Amino acid sequence: MKIATLLSGGVDSSVVVHLLKEAGYDQTLFYIKIGMDDDELLHCTSEEDIEMASLIARKYGCKLEVVDLHKDYWDNVVAYTIDKVKQGLTPNPDVMCNKLIKFGVFEQRVGKDFDKTATGHYASTTEIDGKVYLSTAKDPLKDQTDFLAQIDALQISKLMFPVGNFMKGEVRKIAEKAGLPSAKRQDSQGICFLGKVNYNDFIKRYLGEKTGPIVEFETGKILGKHNGYWFHTVGQRKGLGLSGGPWYVIKKDVAANIVYVSKGFEVETQYGNEFSMRDFHFITENPWGDSLNEIDVNFKIRHTPEFTPGKLLRVGNDFRIVSSQKLQGIAPGQFGVIYDQNSRICIGSGEII
């Protein structure tokens, strides 16, 4: 079996190479380049990552290829991100990067020539009645199925997640024992490749700044100023520059460039217990078929280890979640990710509206 292994230069994907080599698989390593070398803000110093990937390739006698997909990334993921932010929504570029770039364009151009594509994502797959389903990782703190919830059945059937059955600490120990140069490297944070880029600087580059008022939702009192509604997201607490808090962003008026806030975690206006999703996407299939009516599920509305129980309903072309618990910071534009009642199978996702 020929495997294309996606290598980032981090410890997780390095351990993937080690595990597959130990298991006797034939693999070719690929580093996907999506930063821009000629842009001081956005080039992201991929040299260090590529150097680390090269060390791993040499250690295991594997061929390493650098695949430049930066134009595809900017034409698709960045365009999507800026468009959603401009609408006052909270996008999730990581989700779209996985769907469109890592397992989209890469698959169409390179991955198609291989039997499987292996990655360092913390996730797993489960086969039921001959169909492959995306399922959660052993480590709940590192589980990344919410970032993979827009991929499709064909994509998931070709993917391998070798570290998904390990705790993060176990992965680090494997790396140290194997003498991997990435063993002590810190995990990257941020938007797909934007780990080294400040998000607000990124948004400012495309949308600039525009001063507007920060208004207390209950009283209409102006509490301060912001530099553009696009720098703020529903549920946000930090970065508002207001005293006497905690203050939370609960609403944005895009047309008037107003950010509304409410004080204190206990304030009723911050909470909701239901939300709708458009363009709902089932990864492998709709397990309930036409009988989908108040199905008990678990779900996430942000990247956390915790799952929330609720009911999934179909409302016309959209889907709706009614949560069993009050939810703080339901951010339109983010994805509602749906799981089975055992929080094991990731069924699909839709954009919160």
Which residues are catalytically annotated?
Answer: 97, 192
Cα separations in angstroms, 322 against 126, 265, 329, 350: 27, 21, 15, 14
Q: Quick check: 123 and 132 in contact, CB under 8 A?
A: no
**Cα angle at 241 between 267 and 263, to 5 degrees?**
10
